[in-house]
Amino acid sequence: MFKKLDILILKAFIGPFLAALTISTFVLTMQFFWLYIDDLVGKGLDIVTILELIGLVSVSTMTTAFPLALLFSSIMTFGNLGESFELIAIKAAGIPLIRFMRPLFIFTIGLAGVAFLFANNIIPVTQMKLSNLKYEIIVAKPAIDLKEGVFFDKIDGYVIKLGKKESNDSVMHNIVIFEKKYGLQDNFIMADKGIMRVSPNKKFLEFVMYNGWRYQERGGRGVTNTEFTRLYFKEYKKVFDLKTFGMNKNTEIIYDPKMLSVRQLGHAIDSLQNKDSFYIKKINSDITPYLRFLVYKDSNQLFLAQNKNAPLSNFSQIIPDSLQSSLSESAGYKFSSIQTNMLLLNEIFLQNQVATSVHAIEWHRKFTLSFACIVLFLIGAPLGSIIRKGGLGTPLILAIVFFVFFFLLNNFGEKFAKSGEWTAYFGMWMSSLVLIPIGLFLTYKAMRDSQLFNQEFYYRLLNPIKVTLRKYFKK
């Protein structure tokens, strides 16, 4: 009987779970494209590149989609069982709630393990490929953004205008390039024809122009009497740095801790935390040379020992008046240099602390998102058995509410951990620590057939108060 019951619950659960996983992955994938829509539109991407981008984004969202799908499907499954009175029949047969939750709980633990394998082995590779693909999209066909008759100003320091562009997006006509500089000087290039191409290392954008003129105004800053020159060329190459084409200038393309596994993150954290020798070397090379008195510290001690009866009250006792001014000035310069070097060293230390926090956050994220599957199941399963409503309406609303609550707690904890106000451990595990008691409370209520979401229960509970208030106001 128990085996049939396990099969019944698993069959009722698998369908909603797969549907919820598909919807969750789709929504999270669309969130990425909504964020980068301005950088992707008009790039002339082929269908293979688009499918590859969608696939990489979908895989990278799996660790977030698993907990959301599990929460929604567990609420829906137990809500459907309660609405069709199957849940009541199972309880009437003497089978407790914990027993028929067991097969889904085992499934959830397995899913949490799969989520960890995704986060540790697949997501790092996916993030690396996704970053490379985004960069390739940026530099593959930058000419697409150069529209005919429209000024293009996404390259720092330049404005480009094309009269006509051929279908291959590489051959252009009637080219005008303005150089944006401070001051009165006007420098620009005009050419009848040109070819645009990306350098072999894909770091520079090259304009090879033919039959044109270069206009340049020379003169000092604030001087109105300038020299204006015009230079004709048959062929001229202008090179632009492709760094200004970044999708998001805050995005780290070269390196991201998300590209590392748990083992690699552990090694990186150990390296960042064990940098005492670096700071010692930095102090010896940048600060100690200014503290020359340390060389004579033994002599100073000997001098003080020999002159115990004649303590020194000021420098005038050992330094002649003619040298006090120059020595004070020299000491001031040295202290200023020491202060500058100490500030730089402090900045390096703070950057190292931030890097350590970021790596520790990613290390904990590998586990927290996996453990979230168990936490949200402990909320979804008893919640569904309490509300006893299936379908998409009520389960979807409750799933969104609890997942948004989980998402906000997770984000707040991560922000506080990055700022250094909280440890990475507490910041990343705060959402689980808050939600686990809620899940245990809902499980306790579900095991005792609680009327937590029963409108009739609250009506009967508040009706005496309502009657009393009416009698009071009538008087």
Which pLDDT band, with edges at 50, 70 and 90, does 224 fall under?
low
Q: What's the pTM?
A: 0.66
Mean pLDDT of 251-271: 78
pLDDT for 191:
92
pLDDT over threshold 70, residue 18: yes
The pLDDT, as a whole number, for residue 310 is: 54
pLDDT band at 185, cuts 50/70/90?
A: low
Written in H, E and C, the secondary structure of the chain is CHHHHHHHHHHHHHHHHHHHHHHHHHHHHHHHHHHCHHHHCCCCCCHHHHHHHHHHHHHHCHHHHHHHHHHHHHHHHHHHHHHCCHHHHHHHCCCCHHHHHHHHHHHHHHHHHHHHHHHHHHHHHHHHHHHHHHHHHHHHCHHHHCCECCCECCCCCEEEEEEEECCCCCEEEEEEEEECCCCCCCEEEEEEEEEEEECCCCCEEEEEEEEEEEEEEECCCCCCCCEEEEEEEEEEEEEEEHHHHCCCCCCCCCCCHHHCCHHHHHHHHHHHHCCHHHHHHHHHHHCHHHCHHHHHHHHHHHHHHHCCCCCCCCHHHCCCHHHHHHHHHHHHHHHHHHHHHHHHHHHHHHHHHHHHHHHHHHHHHHHHHHHHHHHHHHHHHHHHHHHCCCCCHHHHHHHHHHHHHHHHHHHHHHHHHHHCCCCHHHHHHHHHHHHHHHHHHHHHHHHCCCCCCCHHHHHHHHHHHHHHHHHHHHC
> 419 or 290: which carries more pLDDT confidence?
419
pLDDT band at 302 (very low <50, low <70, confident <90, very high): low
Q: Is it the case that residue 156 has pLDDT exceeding 70?
A: yes
- Residues 408-418 pLDDT 10s: 998 898 888 88
pLDDT at 116 over 90: yes
Looking at residue 112, its pLDDT comes to: 92
Residue 196 pLDDT exceeds 70? yes
What pLDDT is stored for residue 403 in this prediction? 86
Between 25 and 156, the more confident residue is: 25
Task: Give the per-residue pLDDT at 142.
Answer: 53
- Say how many C-beta atoms besides its own lie within 10 A of residue 307's C-beta: 12
* pLDDT above 70 for 453: no
**Given this model, what pLDDT does residue 51 score?**
87
pLDDT confidence of residue 251:
42
Report the pLDDT value the prediction gives residue 250, as an integer from 0 to 100. Answer: 41
The residues pairing with 198 across neighbouring beta strands, listed in sequence order, are 205
For 230, how many CA atoms within 13 A lie in the half-sphere containing its CB? 4
Rounded to whole angstroms, how far apart are CA atoms 178 and 166? 22
Task: Quote the tokens at residue 18.
Answer: 């797969």
Q: What percent of the chain has pLDDT over 70?
A: 77
- The greatest distance separating any two alpha carbons of the chain, rounded to the nearest whole angstrom, comes to 105
pLDDT of residue 459: 61
* 57-66, 117-126, 298-307: least confident range: 298-307
**Average pLDDT, stretch 335-360?**
83
pLDDT value for 7: 84
Does residue 317 surpass a pLDDT of 80?
no
pLDDT of res. 4:
79
Asked if the model's pLDDT at residue 323 lies above 80, the reply is no
Q: What is the pLDDT of residue 108?
A: 92
Instruction: For residue range 350-364, list pLDDT tens digits in order.
Output: 888 888 888 899 999
The residues pairing with 216 across neighbouring beta strands, listed in sequence order, are: 229
Q: Percent of the chain having pLDDT more than 90? A: 10
Residue 250: Cβ within 10 Å count: 6
Q: What pLDDT does 134 receive?
A: 77
Q: What does pLDDT average to over the chain?
A: 78
Query: Once rounded to an integer, what is the mean pLDDT over residues 379-407?
Result: 81
Give the residue-averaged pLDDT of 87-93.
75
Neighbours of 171 (CB within 10 A): 14
Cβ neighbours of residue 451 closer than 8 Å, sequence gap 6 or more: 457
What is the pLDDT averaged over residues 291-309? 59
d(CA 254, CA 88): 57
pLDDT level of residue 248 (50, 70, 90 thresholds): very low
Most confident of the following: 178-192, 373-387, 439-453: 373-387
Stronger pLDDT, 180 or 314, i.e. the higher one: 180
Does residue 184 have a pLDDT over 60?
A: no
314, pLDDT greater than 50:
yes
pLDDT, tens only, 421-431: 888 888 899 98
